Amino acid sequence: MDKVVSAKRSGTKASAAVRPVPPTREEAEEAVRTLIRWAGDNPDREGLRATPARVVRAYEEWFSGYKDDPREYLKRTFEETGGYDEVVVLRDIRFESYCEHHMAPIIGRVHIGYLPHNRVVGISKLARLVEVYARRLQIQEKMTAEIAACVDEVLKPHGVAVVAEATHQCMTTRGIHKTGVSMVTSRMLGVFRDHAETRHEFLSAIGMRGAIHVANGA
């Protein structure tokens, strides 16, 4: 809190790493009432009286990822793997997020692969990792990179591969209004970046063999 106040007083921009002091629930509900009035309706009519409270409760669920440290889910690992040294893939992890530009839904799935280095993690923890990052205001590219970086940092495997496929309601329900369009993003680290054979093994496992090429080491 002191850092935020100090930044305001000095006229400098607060770092993105410094979280602002959240408003009260009453302030949040009043903000929803303001938006209802701005949209042209009456927040005091019967059908809308409880809407501000409902919206705030929904926001608590949709953006609960800010309260969790994703690294905590990966810290409990297993070393008794029977000498297993092949790629581990968890595919089709469904997620729902909201774009940070329009706060419209992003709905899709994530595929995660990693080549273990002496230890593995429970598969449910990978799904929970996706959930934490998805339940924040996001852009798909950043979420893909964050998931890969977290797995790489905590598990320290030989390599990590993450592919995300999603539809963006900010594009399908407004603006250009193009339906049936999906976006694919990927992040390859370690052996998945450096070795085409390992990368193709992962892509084949998720049904995308040959669909993603890593150019200039990116």
Catalytic residues: 99-102, 140, 168, 170
- The angle at the Cα of 122, spanning 160 to 69, to the nearest 5 degrees, equals 75
Name the phi and psi angles at 183, rounded to 5: -115, 140
3-state secondary structure the chain: CHHHHHHHHHCCCCCCCCCCCCCCHHHHHHHHHHHHHHHCCCCCCHHHCCHHHHHHHHHHHHCHHHHCCHHHHHCCEECCCCCCCCCEEEEEEEEEEEECCCCCEEEEEEEEEEECCCCEECHHHHHHHHHHHHCCEECHHHHHHHHHHHHHHHHCCCEEEEEEEEEEHHHHCCCCCCCCCCEEEEEEEEHHHHCHHHHHHHHHHCCCCCCCCCCCCC
Q: State the number of CA atoms in the 13 A half-sphere of 147 facing the CB.
A: 38
Say how many C-beta atoms besides its own lie within 10 A of residue 194's C-beta: 14
